[in-house]
Amino acid sequence: MIRLLGSLLVTGACLWAGWSRRQWYRRRRQTLSDFCHAFARMEAELSEHETETAALLSLMATGAGRAEPFFRRCLGGMEQLEYRPFSEIWMNALTQSDLPLRQEELALLGRGGRLLGRYDGKAQALLLSQLRREMERCLEHAREEERRQGKTAVLLGLTAGLMAVMLLN
C-alpha cells in the first residue's frame, strides 16, 4: 500500500513538473501577447493625444492583463523620479514583476524605458511600434514553442515519473 502511494506521489510530482513547464509556456505567450496589445494602445495614445507618461502608465495599469503588475510598479516608481532616471524605474519594475519571460525578451522590454518620455509623441509611437514588432516576433516564437514543447513537457514529466517508479521498485 505504501509502495503504491509512493509510486503515485513520484509519478504525480514528475507529471506536475512537466505540467507546470507547459503552464509556463502558456503564461509566457499570454504575457508577450498582453505586452504587444499594451504597446499598441500606448502607440495610439502617444500619436493621437501625446498622453503624459504617468497617465499612460495609469491606463496600462488597469487594462493590460498580465502586464498590469509591471505597469503598476512603473507608475508607483514615478515617485522616485527625483532619485533615479525613468529608464532605471522601468528596469526595476521589470525585475520586480517576475515575468515569465526569457532573458532576451526581458532585455527587449527593457528598451521601452529608454524611449518613453524622451521624444515627441509621434517619434515615441514610431519607436514603440518597432519595439512591438520585435515583441510580436518573440510572441510567434513563444506560440511555436508552446505548441511544440508544451505537450512534450507533460509527456516527459509523466515518462520521468514512471521511469522513477520502475527504478525505485
The residue ranges that bind other proteins (CB under 8 A) are 46, 50-54, 78, 81-83, 85-86, 116-121, 123-124
**CB-CB contact of 148 with 29 (8 Å):** no
Least separation in angstroms between residue 125's CB and other proteins is 9
Nearest-CA neighbor of 56 among 144, 121, 142, 132?
A: 121
Nearest to 35 by CA among 77, 71, 73, 59: 71
Report in angstroms how near the CB of residue 55 gets to other proteins at its nearest.
8
Nearer to other proteins, 107 or 123 (CB): 123
Of residues 78 and 107, the one with the C-beta less far from other proteins: 78
Task: Output 82 or 98, the one with its CB closest to other proteins.
Answer: 82
Minimum CB–partner distance for residue 146 and other proteins (Å): 35
The two most distant CA atoms of the chain are separated, in Å, by 71
CA angle 3-5-7, nearest 5°? 70
CB of 161: closest distance to other proteins in angstroms?
51
